Amino acid sequence: MNAQTYQRRLAKCGEHMANLGIDVLLLTKPSNMFYLTGDGRLCAYAMITQAGKVALGVPVTDIEDVKALAYHDHIVGFDDEVGMIHSIAHYFQHFGISKGMVGLEYTFLTQSMMAMMTHPHAKPEGVTHQDCTHILSEMRMVKEPEEIERIRAAAKVADIGMDAAIKAVKPGMTESQVAAAAEFAMRNAGAEEFWRTYVASGPRTNIAHGLPTNRKIEKDELVMVDIHPIVNNYSADICRTVCAGKPTAEQQKAYDLYLDAQQSTIRMIRAGVGMVDLETHIHQVLEDGGHGDHIFGPPIHGLGIEFEEAPLPPGHAFFHGEKAPPPLPENVVLSVGNCGLYAGPWGVRVEDTNWVKADGYETLTRYPRRLAK
Amino acid sequence: MNAQTYQRRLAKCGEHMANLGIDVLLLTKPSNMFYLTGDGRLCAYAMITQAGKVALGVPVTDIEDVKALAYHDHIVGFDDEVGMIHSIAHYFQHFGISKGMVGLEYTFLTQSMMAMMTHPHAKPEGVTHQDCTHILSEMRMVKEPEEIERIRAAAKVADIGMDAAIKAVKPGMTESQVAAAAEFAMRNAGAEEFWRTYVASGPRTNIAHGLPTNRKIEKDELVMVDIHPIVNNYSADICRTVCAGKPTAEQQKAYDLYLDAQQSTIRMIRAGVGMVDLETHIHQVLEDGGHGDHIFGPPIHGLGIEFEEAPLPPGHAFFHGEKAPPPLPENVVLSVGNCGLYAGPWGVRVEDTNWVKADGYETLTRYPRRLAK
């Protein structure tokens, strides 16, 4: 991304801030900092004024690295938390903000981090704070062409990772070894990083977040693999369920139902459709198939810099400090199939990354969808 | 761990709660839930009474899985966030707590999660809250024999991962590919999971948190590898710096200095020594070597279920909501070498996992420490 990209985003951000009466943002969430400046990292912060000025605070060791990556007007290095707090106070003074409103990320800051950011040695007493989560979420929700291309690149790596994982699924292999195969393949295919890998087998295919364990896969068990490579700072999301042998008729039937629910929901995607319409549809198909009580979690979510970001379905959004999403604009990217079907001592799930277009959609993850290997 | 282990821990926890006037803990941090019950996972909570009663709330899909893993008196499944909130209210009612004090993890809960946990539909109006971070940190700081053995097992896997990483360090390999080699080896050696892998090369060896990128290693550059396998729910921490070719005399000198600082600090370890003594010593050696201004981050931290946990040095501890650590009791496990030496366009770091004993220490990570490959 070039300087014009960040200037355009910062100008847009300034409009949101003005509308909400926010004088300055104090960001610490890496994905939000990355979106507005080109660099996001732990133990750092970005102050963003309404006028689009960017003041960064980073570990003193990281100054040269950040300078080369981030669009910014000011940068300061700190030695420790005390230095960080003082540098924030300095920027407030530099920008002449002694009263007014600072926007903080309530969905990211822990209570202790909040105490640091609003410490009397950091934030002027006359400055109050409000949540700014939704400003960045709303901006990041609609992707620019270069962002779509990066997600497309991540989706290709996701397909490669899934291929390696599915090939590794064999009786006797542990869930962790299947995860290893996927992660190794993704990094070697160009992922600089990945989000949490889920691999769950047998009865564990039922659980909501199947982090891999050393459980050995047994013959004829189902195995669920859910992976999220990061390529050039953008993510993709794919999940497949396969059988390490021969699935039962009941398993195949549940799988076919889930796949139909997921694929028919994807076919509804186009600009103007609502998240609720999509959510209602996928739930309805599963309910009509007799599994209305066997689903968990939001079936659809956005992705981009993070593998799960706005838009989220309204109920879920509320609890995550996000606003209910509007009818989908074009160039949102959606993951569909995030809710599993939990049928008893096993479950099935199929999830894909989709680009919302004016008149339809494109599914970016393409690994074959079939229960039998 | 058996039921007696959890009963003993819960009784101890109840004593801390009584001393602080806390009637019930409402925990959501997986590591804390794991310590007191044997299971910790995302999107779940544990309510712990002074009398040691354990009430769990988990995704409805996860009930059978948690039942098999967790010591508990009550368990309830919820469908979504609304169900979760109502189940918390139900437990408050069940335990007859309509006023009093609930302990919450201020170092883990975001503002939005805090809003859920203290929502009027969850927490009775007459119940106030305070931070309970330090109760669990203090308990977890001193390890039981079985915990030490699990950390020892993780340290062996860390050595195996480091060996794979160092073998992968070659000009033309990316940082991400080196990370892939380490992670693949750790999972295949028995790690069910790992914490964030750091691999940084060339000028990036300077930065505080060197997450891998697609930067290609060049001949004669330094490469820093910092890995953290999880084996049977316990972690180890090891960092090595090597040269992809021939180090300069200046680099070798800085490395030798750092290694001396780290090793002489480790030799001071025994029950009764203070974290400040250790921190002061490592800083002093580096300062005497002319690099007093080239260090960043707490040089020493505890580890166990998490790869970074109590004890932390006092300054760092304060900002993480932890109490300043006491003189070290025996059976603490310490990682020494967490601060790098950042000498200019490169840096060096060596870190090892150590068991604090009554009359000395045992270093659990043993991979050779040398700059030249």
Gap between the terminal Cα atoms of chain B: 40
Q: What pLDDT is stored for residue B320 in this prediction? A: 63
In this structure, how many other beta carbons lie within 10 angstroms of the beta carbon of residue B19?
9
In this structure, how many other beta carbons lie within 10 angstroms of the beta carbon of residue B218?
12
Residues B199-243: tens digit of each pLDDT: 999 999 999 999 999 999 999 999 999 999 999 999 999 999 999
Distance CA B238, CA B107 (A): 25
- The answer to whether the CB of A350 falls within 8 A of the CB of A259 is yes
Are the beta carbons of B315 and A180 separated by less than 8 Å?
A: no
Are the beta carbons of B183 and A180 separated by less than 8 Å?
A: yes
Q: Which residues of A touch B109 (CB under 8 A)?
A: 110-111
In chain A, which residues fall in CATH 3.90.230.10?
A: 142-363
**Average pLDDT taken over every residue of chain B:** 95
A123 touches chain B (CB under 8 A): no
Of B190, B206, B214, the CB nearest to A61: B206
Tokens read off for B145: 């024999």
Of A187, A212, A315, the CB nearest to B180: A187
Put simply, whether the predicted model's pTM sits higher than 0.80 gets the answer yes
Q: Single out the residue of A249, A248, A262, A163 nearest to residue A202, CA to CA.
A: A248
Are the beta carbons of A203 and B297 separated by less than 8 Å?
A: no
Q: At B300, is the secondary structure helix, strand, or coil?
A: strand
Distance CA B199, CA B197 (A): 7
Tokens read off for B137: 């940190």
> Nearest chain B Cα to A213, which residue?
B192
Instruction: Provide the shortest C-alpha distance from residue B327 to chain A (in Å).
Output: 23
Q: What pLDDT is stored for residue B322 in this prediction? A: 66
Of B109, B208, B319, the CB nearest to A59: B208
How many Cα atoms occupy the beta-carbon half-sphere of A99 within 13 Å?
1
Q: Single out the residue of B65, B67, B68 nearest to residue A202, CA to CA.
A: B65
Are the beta carbons of A321 and B111 separated by less than 8 Å?
A: yes
Confidence of residue B312 (pLDDT cuts 50, 70, 90): confident
Q: Tell the residue number behind the tokens 């008729």, with chain if given.
A: A249
- Is the pLDDT at B293 greater than 90, yes or no? no
Of B61, B177, B190, the CB nearest to A207: B61
B130 touches chain A (CB under 8 A): no
- Give me the mean pLDDT over the B111-124 stretch: 92
Q: Which residues, numbered 222 to 251 in chain A, qualify as contacts with chain B under a Cβ-Cβ cut-off of 8 Å?
A: none
Q: What pLDDT is stored for residue A317 in this prediction? A: 61
Tokens read off for A308: 């799960």
Q: What pLDDT is stored for residue A314 in this prediction? A: 63
Distance CA B110, CA A108 (A): 6
Per-residue pLDDT of chain A (373 residues; tens, 9 = 90+): 899 999 999 999 999 999 999 999 999 999 999 999 999 999 999 999 999 999 999 999 999 999 999 999 999 999 888 899 999 999 999 999 999 999 999 999 999 899 989 999 999 999 999 999 999 999 999 999 999 999 999 999 999 999 999 999 999 999 999 999 999 999 999 999 999 999 999 999 999 999 999 999 999 999 999 999 999 999 999 999 999 999 999 999 999 999 999 999 999 999 999 998 999 999 999 999 999 988 888 899 999 999 999 998 666 666 666 677 779 999 999 999 998 899 879 999 999 999 999 999 999 999 999 999 8
Q: Which residues, numbered 57 to 116 in chain B, qualify as contacts with chain A under a Cβ-Cβ cut-off of 8 Å?
A: 59-62, 64-65, 79-82, 104, 106-112, 114-116
In this structure, how many other beta carbons lie within 10 angstroms of the beta carbon of residue A262?
26
**Percent of chain B whose pLDDT exceeds 90:** 89
Q: What pLDDT is stored for residue A239 in this prediction? A: 98
> Nearest chain A Cα to B341, which residue?
A61
Q: What pLDDT is stored for residue B336 in this prediction? A: 98
Query: Residue A110: beta bridge partners?
Result: B110
Distance CA B282, CA B280 (A): 6
In chain B, which residues fall in CATH 3.40.350.10?
A: 3-140
DSSP string, A43-94: T-EEEEETT--EEEEEEGGGHHHHHHH---SEEEEESSHHHHHHHHHHHHHH
According to the CATH classification, is domain B142-363 in 1.20.5.510? no
Q: What is the value of ipTM here, to two decimals?
A: 0.96
Are the beta carbons of A110 and B112 separated by less than 8 Å?
A: no
Confidence of residue B344 (pLDDT cuts 50, 70, 90): confident
Query: CATH for B3-140?
Result: 3.40.350.10
- Give me the mean pLDDT over the B60-71 stretch: 96
Q: Which of B187, B217, B308, B322 best probes binding to A when mutated, by most A CB atoms within 10 angstroms?
A: B187
Q: Which helix (H) or strand (E) holds B318?
A: helix B314-319
In this structure, how many other beta carbons lie within 10 angstroms of the beta carbon of residue B123?
21
Query: Residue B348: beta bridge partners?
Result: B341
Instruction: Provide the shortest C-alpha distance from residue A360 to chain B (in Å).
Output: 30
Q: Which residues, numbered 262 to 291 in chain A, qualify as contacts with chain B under a Cβ-Cβ cut-off of 8 Å?
A: none
B149 touches chain A (CB under 8 A): no
> Nearest chain B Cα to A182, which residue?
B184
Are the beta carbons of A316 and B206 separated by less than 8 Å?
A: no
Q: What pLDDT is stored for residue B161 in this prediction? A: 98
- Give me the mean pLDDT over the B118-146 stretch: 95
Instruction: Provide the shortest C-alpha distance from residue A78 to chain B (in Å).
Output: 9
Instruction: Provide the shortest C-alpha distance from residue B125 to chain A (in Å).
Output: 20
- The answer to whether the CB of A32 falls within 8 A of the CB of A136 is yes
In this structure, how many other beta carbons lie within 10 angstroms of the beta carbon of residue A125?
8
In this structure, how many other beta carbons lie within 10 angstroms of the beta carbon of residue A121?
10
- Is the pLDDT at B297 greater than 90, yes or no? no
B179 touches chain A (CB under 8 A): yes
Q: Which of B34, B207, B295 best probes binding to A when mutated, by most A CB atoms within 10 angstroms?
A: B207
Query: Residue A362: beta bridge partners?
Result: A355
